[in-house]
Amino acid sequence: MKEKLSVTVEEPLVRFLDSLPGNSRSEKLERVLRRFQEVSEDLLLRKELARYAEAGGEREEDEAWSRTMEHDQWNESTEGISGRSSL
């Protein structure tokens, strides 16, 4: 649902808005605001990921997966790989 909005902005911003593609100022402003929202959300996500990486969480998870894979490789049954031994 859309709501009517009345805004007052400086003339250079109006000229910029008018220079954008679109059929109406409302359409143009909505597109600009939507893009600003997307960029803001992306920046927030990047900051959260950086904090996680700085805390070592990603490194610890990678090390845990490496240990798991190494453990599985060294503990595979040779019978499962080459069949039963005739000895």
User: With helix as H, strand as E and coil as C, how does the chain read?
Assistant: CCCCCCCCCCHHHHHHHHHCCCCCHHHHHHHHHHHHHHHHHHHHHHHHHHHHHHCCHHHHHHHHHHHHHHHHHHCCCHHHHHCCCCC
User: How many domains does the chain contain in total?
Assistant: 1
- Percent above pLDDT 70 for the chain: 78
What confidence category does residue 80 fall into, taking pLDDT thresholds of 50, 70 and 90?
low
Is position 61 within any domain?
A: yes
Answer yes or no: is pLDDT of 41 > 60. yes
Is position 3 within any domain?
A: no
User: Pseudo-torsion of CA 56, 60, 66, 68, nearest 10°?
Assistant: -170
Is position 84 within any domain?
A: no
What confidence category does residue 53 fall into, taking pLDDT thresholds of 50, 70 and 90?
confident
Q: Which two tokens stand for residue 22?
A: 């679109």
The pLDDT of residue 15 is 97
